[in-house]
A and B are shown apart, each in its own frame.
Chain A
């Protein structure tokens, strides 16, 4: 294949940008099931993955797709699945399996309005807590968002890098508007954006390989299924060889390892964008497509001289508490702009100095939260009426 030195510029949907990002990151396996509004990801990969020497499969259901991703990743391929609302619910079992067995993988959830079938073609951001706590049992997980087509591309690459570095599922929590809107996408030449390759063990065949013995830097070198080392993988609590154990000491060690490897790196995993935060009296916090409305308002008001800023969170989980604490320190009022009943709001309130000065601006009707919606709430808070 020829190595291009100039960027590829195209005009694509967010869902296609996700596909391009995944391929840039070295995706080699995708399993999925049709569901609105994420289906385009499967459609594009059905066409593009075999060209990249990868494998695409449409499984019998959402559950099977996530399971196949687990299997393919163990066999050595960078693997991903994509879904929306109801499908995300069905994938939780195998996401938990990937957490427990430390299988690197990426799960895209292009959010639509729930609960249940909800509004299949309308935007919402109601799966924030499900992305964090959807699977049973204590655990940690990484959840990333994006508000533009370009960011979808970049964040998708980052998702693979994090998944491979920390051997964890990473959730890409997009939404219907981000997934379906078309914008300019610049794809840099290969090598310009760093891509993390899977760390494979250097232990020689015939020597004892411990699939679950973390190195000093916390990373666990892998060995592909079918490779030199035969080992066991189980969703039960397991020892360093991957065999089931109920030994309280080992159980305790494993759960702490699973949680700490991400929670202790919350600041390192924090991705964000900021606009005029430094001197902002009114600070908006948002993510995903609602951050676009927030940004529009911020730019308009700034032009008029208002001290208003925006903190756009790209990492939702582990929640970047330190970042939010720092960025909100000087703000008089904080407006959380999201399309749910306040799922990130609850986190923000926990970490800011004045939780009583945090206000929710949301929309729950399947329509975008607009700059006007934000403006109205701000007027009320400022005592200027509705």
Chain B
């Protein structure tokens, strides 16, 4: 099947746990790249560290498995030298929002053309289930044995506040929506953020008695609603999904090309 043309088959089965949503996001991403007809040699993936970051080893793209939280900074260097590359940066929630938070807001601000995917499973999985800045209060984790008192924040709101020009959210349950939002993100010229709420059945689910992967996906099904839907209007407790923002703004590499031109004239 064609999606297999985009992966490094020899590394499968992958290392993610049974029922981990990261694989579903990889699945949707590959289909998006395929549907857009992007040549693999024009695809560059930069990831950080963590469960999510292992995604870069599985794709048959130019792939950089960088440092914890630093993927966007590394990707910025690549993109500035090779603006023609399609750069995609998948990150975990701790990766993107804690240790990489500063890089994240400034990549949003610069509006550099790349697709940032926040694979938000609300936990540090690779290290064994510590709470993340997106876990939220009241959550059990190995570092929150008495339940977390840390408040979470909304990654999409942060992205918008920092100036990202495409911001969207979906979940690992809404598999077609992941594809359609990623497609829009790739087509958008500027910094795109797609948050995908995903399940970590091994640590988050088990510790918090959320059940297995199926129950966690059902929770995302039942507790989210599309932007502008009646369902969301009637119940503000639901988590909104969809495109929060899509605006045109000067893109960083294009603006730098103008600087090069200007410098040559002066």
Task: Enumerate chain A interface residues (CB-CB to B < 8 A).
Answer: 28-29, 31, 47, 50-51, 53, 55, 57, 59-61, 63-65, 67-77, 79, 93-94, 97, 224-228, 230-236, 243-244
Complex CA–CA separation, A28 to B55 (angstroms): 30
Task: Judge whether B56 is part of the interface by a CB distance below 8 angstroms.
Answer: yes
Please pick, from A31, A50, A70, A227, the residue contacting B260 in the complex, using a CB distance under 8 A: A50
Report yes or no: B82 in contact with A75, Cβ–Cβ below 8 A. Answer: yes
List, in ascending order, chain A residues with CB within 8 A of B64's CB: 71, 74, 225, 232-234
Task: Judge whether B1 is part of the interface by a CB distance below 8 angstroms.
Answer: no
Complex CA–CA separation, A182 to B79 (angstroms): 36
Q: What are 28 A-B contacts defined by CB distance under 8 Å?
A: A29-B80, A31-B77, A50-B259, A50-B263, A55-B80, A63-B70, A63-B103, A64-B102, A67-B70, A68-B73, A75-B77, A75-B78, A75-B85, A97-B66, A225-B78, A226-B44, A226-B84, A230-B60, A230-B62, A231-B63, A232-B57, A233-B63, A234-B64, A234-B65, A235-B65, A236-B65, A243-B57, A244-B65
Report yes or no: B80 in contact with A68, Cβ–Cβ below 8 A. Answer: yes
Report yes or no: B78 in contact with A67, Cβ–Cβ below 8 A. Answer: no
Report yes or no: A68 in contact with B77, Cβ–Cβ below 8 A. Answer: yes
List, in ascending order, chain B residues with CB within 8 A of A244's CB: 57, 65
Complex CA–CA separation, A25 to B93 (angstroms): 40
List, in ascending order, chain A residues with CB within 8 A of B26's CB: none
Given known pairs A70-B77, A232-B57, the reply for A225 and B67 (CB within 8 Å) is: no
Report yes or no: A233 in contact with B80, Cβ–Cβ below 8 A. Answer: no
Query: Which of chain B's residues 247-266 have a Cβ closer than 8 Å to chain A?
Result: 256, 259-260, 262-264
Complex CA–CA separation, A258 to B221 (angstroms): 50
Majority SS at the chain A contact face: mixed
List, in ascending order, chain A residues with CB within 8 A of B106's CB: 59-60, 64
Shortest Cβ distance from B15 into A: residue: A244
Q: Would you give the shortest CB distance from B214 to chain A, in whole angstroms?
A: 31
Complex CA–CA separation, A68 to B41 (angstroms): 21
Complex CA–CA separation, A225 to B46 (angstroms): 11
Q: How many A-B residue pairs have CB under 8 A?
A: 139
Given known pairs A74-B64, A233-B63, A235-B66, the reply for A69 and B77 (CB within 8 Å) is: yes
Q: Would you give the shortest CB distance from A243 to chain B, in whole angstroms?
A: 6
Interface 1/0 per residue, B27-46 and A, CB below 8 Å = 00000000000001110101
Majority SS at the chain B contact face: helix
Given known pairs A225-B62, A234-B65, the reply for A64 and B73 (CB within 8 Å) is: yes
- Closest 6 A/B residue pairs (Cβ): A71-B77, A68-B77, A67-B73, A72-B77, A75-B81, A50-B263
Report yes or no: A71 in contact with B65, Cβ–Cβ below 8 A. Answer: no
List, in ascending order, chain A residues with CB within 8 A of B44's CB: 225-226
Complex CA–CA separation, A57 to B11 (angstroms): 36
Taking A59-B73, A226-B84, A244-B65 as given, write out 6 further A-B residue pairs in contact, using a Cβ cutoff of 8 Å, ordered by the A residue number. Answer: A57-B77, A63-B73, A70-B77, A71-B79, A232-B56, A236-B65
List, in ascending order, chain B residues with CB within 8 A of A31's CB: 76-77
Q: Would you give the shortest CB distance from B75 to chain A, in whole angstroms?
A: 6
Please pick, from B62, B102, B259, the residue contacting A60 in the complex, using a CB distance under 8 A: B102
List, in ascending order, chain B residues with CB within 8 A of A76's CB: 81-82
Shortest Cβ distance from B58 into A: residue: A232
Query: Which of chain B's residues 130-155 have a Cβ closer than 8 Å to chain A?
Result: none
Report yes or no: B263 in contact with A72, Cβ–Cβ below 8 A. Answer: no
Please pick, from B62, B76, B78, B264, the residue contacting A59 in the complex, using a CB distance under 8 A: B76
